Amino acid sequence: MKRSVRVDLHIHTNASDGKNSVIDYVLKAREIGLDVIAITDHNTFKGVRSYIKNYGEKYHNVLVVPGIEVRTNIGDVVVLCSKIHEDNDVPKDIDLLIDWCQMNNYIVILAHPLDITRSGVSFKNLMKYVDRVDFIEGFNAGSSIIINNLIMMYMCKKHSLRCIAVSDAHSIKSLGIAYTVINDVDEYYVENVSKFIDYLNSKNINVSMSISYKAFIPKIIRKLLNL
């Protein structure tokens, strides 16, 4: 049976600079109806490695994808993997990283492009690499400068880029305030991580962005208002 699958593919845990553990995110994902979450800590698989060891890839009907946010020579890039590597195995040079991901069939996403305050790739590099990566973050709820998201949303539309929306959550409060809906997915593809990664690699994938009003409020103000 085919259905829409709700995914949030950029999340930080207390294994890097986030506040919560993977299991906290899984329980929250179940509560708010997310089907898939990707754990993408800064330069480490530590949190997701111990989670999967204890709970497996799918728990409480939430699929957990191991990922990593890599600080490359051109800026931050999110990689989604079907297996967990040693942190040092992941190349930091963007060309080597893309080659490594293609070799392994992994997914490459340019994280918060244009956000120079958070090492997003520049406009020049966005244009240079847009055809070599799988997705672009068209909306990142962790961006403090809202104009970046507006420009990216405009560019996604204008150039028909494969764009996704992510929360870039650093605590369970922000989980899913922006997420991506993948339409018409056969249940088979959300049974485990390698099937899901295969599906993300397919060319006819149909995605749309879902963004809550909270995601348009800068992170610092959300914190002040306790949203």
State the residues that interact with Zn ion by CB under 5 A: 69, 168
- Shortest gap between Cβ of 111 and Zn ion (angstroms)? 6
- Shortest gap between Cβ of 39 and Zn ion (angstroms)? 11
Shortest Cβ contact with Zn ion: which residue?
168
- Cβ proximity to Zn ion, 58 vs 125, nearer residue: 125
- Cβ proximity to Zn ion, 69 vs 115, nearer residue: 69
| CA distance linking residue 70 with residue 205, whole number of Å | 25
- Cβ proximity to Zn ion, 35 vs 168, nearer residue: 168
- Shortest gap between Cβ of 74 and Zn ion (angstroms)? 16
- Cβ proximity to Zn ion, 174 vs 185, nearer residue: 174
Locate 206 and state its tokens: 């149909």
- Shortest gap between Cβ of 1 and Zn ion (angstroms)? 33
The helix-helix angle for 46-55 and 22-32 (nearest 10°) equals: 70
- Computed over its alpha carbons, how large is the radius of gyration of the chain? 16
| CA distance linking residue 192 with residue 194, whole number of Å | 6
- Count H helices, E strands: the chain? 7, 10
Smallest CA-to-CA distance from 210 within 59, 50, 9, 67 is with 9
